[in-house]
């Protein structure tokens, strides 16, 4: 799993869209769009290069990690792309994806330090992300 961390307006959504578009050319990609920001106001997914990706909007109030689990079970993707509100939800979802053999490409609205604070002592040994990249506003 790969994660992009950073504050608002740091380019996380832009990076996720580009990653989803590129991966969907060769992989079965499922975009799980909790807040309708990844596809957003596009008239259709073709406008932003996501015509080959499957798209899922969980119902309002759905727990993020539960929605990811359900998406894996119902759609059997190779890659899940999602934006998370809470770092703890992203960590749990990444663990579920790893257990299911599904790759997760996601964003987390936090800092590396904030993410580290969410880890339990024992959780550092089974950290679910192969790579994390911290984005900063204005550097994309």
Domains of the chain plus CATH, in order, are 2-119 (3.40.50.300)
The pTM (predicted TM-score) of the whole model is 0.87
Top-ranked range on mean pLDDT: pick from 9-13, 75-79, 83-87, 112-116: 75-79
Position 104 scores a pLDDT of 97
Yes or no: say if 135 and 15 are a contact pair by the CB < 8 Å rule: yes
Report residue 40 as tokens: 């957003």
- Other Cβ atoms within 10 Å of 128 Cβ, number: 18
Check whether 45 has a pLDDT greater than 70: no
* pLDDT tens, residue by residue, 83-130: 998 899 999 999 999 999 999 999 999 988 888 888 765 455 678 899
How far apart (Å, rounded) are the C-alpha atoms in residues 124 and 35? 29
**Which residues in 54-75 are b (16+ Cβ under 10 Å) and which e?**
bebebeeeeebbebbbebbeee
């Amino acid at each position: 799993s790969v994660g992009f961390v950073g504050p608002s307006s740091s380019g996380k959504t832009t990076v996720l869209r580009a990653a989803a578009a590129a991966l969907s050319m060769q992989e079965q990609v499922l975009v799980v769009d909790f807040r309708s920001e990844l596809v957003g106001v596009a008239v259709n997914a073709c406008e932003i290069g996501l015509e080959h990706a499957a798209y899922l909007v969980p119902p309002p109030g759905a727990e993020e990690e539960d929605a990811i689990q359900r998406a894996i079970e119902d759609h059997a993707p190779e890659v899940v792309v999602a934006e998370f509100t809470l770092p703890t939800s992203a960590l749990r979802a990444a663990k579920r994806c790893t257990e299911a053999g599904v790759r997760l490409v996601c964003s987390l609205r936090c800092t590396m330090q904030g993410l580290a604070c969410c880890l339990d002592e024992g959780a550092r040994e089974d950290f679910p992300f192969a790579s994390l990249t911290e984005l900063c506003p204005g550097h994309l």
